[in-house]
Amino acid sequence: MSDYALFIDYKYCTNCHVCEVTCRTEHNIPLDEWGIKVAEMGPVKLNGKWMWNYVPVPSDLCDFCADRRERGEDPTCVHHCLAQCIEVIPVDQITERMKLAGKTATVFIP
């Protein structure tokens, strides 16, 4: 397990597809496979309120952008995400960050 995690504050995820595409080009992943894929929840009215969320989900192909991180760069999904809603954080900060972000956040530990 890595000491770092991808922290995803997905209330801001706009489904811009940038993480999917940039992960694919960075790792030469073919069009029918994904290093990260955005899941959709909604649009649906729950208890009278609209819910429409997108949640990016890294796959088994995610290598946490090992080459980039070796060079001191952020993973390409983190770097390019239009909503800037993916971050690399140390695993020991997960609880604190999740509390701050509220319900609509998730983490992935590669």
Partner 1 sequence: MSELRTDCEDGTFKIRTCAWSPPGDHPVGCGMFLTVKDGKVVHVEGDASHPITNGRLCVRCLTLPEYIYHEDRILTPLYRDPADRGKDAWKPISWDEALDIIEERVNYIKANYGAEAIVAFQGTGREATLYKTPLAYAALGTPNSCFPMSGDSCYGPRASVADFLLGAGYPELDYAAYFPDRYDDPRYEVPKYIILWGKDPLFSNPDGFFGHSLIDLMKRGSKFITIDPRLTWLGTRADYHLQLRPGTDSALGLGLLNVIISEDLYDHEFVENWCFGFEELAERAAEYPLEKVEKITWVPKETIQAAARAFATSHPSSIMWGLAIDTSANGVQAGHCVLALAAITGNLDVPGGITLSKPASFMGKWRYECAQQLPPGMLEKQISDPRYKGFLAAHVIAHPDRILDTLETEEPYPLKMAWFYSSNLIANTAAAQPKRWFSALRRLEFNVCQDIFMTPTAMGLCDLFLPVSSFAEHDGIVLPHFGRNTHMVASMNKAVTVGDCRSDLEIDFLVGKRLNPKAWPWETISDFFTAQIEPQLGITFPQLQEMSLMQQKFEYRKYEKGLLRNDGEQGFNTPTGLVELKSSLYEDWGEDPLPYYEEPSYSFISRPEEADMYPLVFTMGGRVTTSFHSEHRQIPSLRAITPDAIVQIHPDTAAKYGIEEGDWVRIENSLGYAVEKAHLSPIVDPRVVHGTHGWWYPEQDGEEPNLYGVWQSSVNSLVPHAKNGKMGFGAPYKCVNCKIVKVESLQG
Q: Shortest gap between Cβ of 43 and partner 1 (angstroms)?
A: 6
**Element holding 66 (H helix, E strand):** helix 66-70
Binding of ligand SF4 at residue 58 (CB under 6 A)?
A: yes
The token pair at 103 is: 């319900």
How far is the C-alpha of 15 from the C-alpha of 78, rounded, in Å? 14
Among partner 1, ligand SF4, none, partner that 87 touches (CB below 5 to 8 angstroms by kind): none
Are the CB atoms for 63 and 4 separated by under 8 Å? Answer: no
Sign for the CA dihedral angle at 83, 85, 39, 51 comes to negative
Task: Using the rule CB under 6 A, give the single segment among 15-23, 43-51, 91-99 that binds ligand SF4.
Answer: 15-23
How far is the C-alpha of 98 from the C-alpha of 104, rounded, in Å? 9
**Residues in 17-56 at the binding interface with ligand SF4, rule: CB under 6 A:** 17-19, 23, 26, 35-36, 38, 54, 56
Q: Shortest gap between Cβ of 79 and ligand SF4 (angstroms)?
A: 9
Binding residues vs ligand SF4 (CB under 6 A)? 13-19, 23, 26, 35-36, 38, 54, 56, 58, 62-65, 75-77, 81-83, 85-86
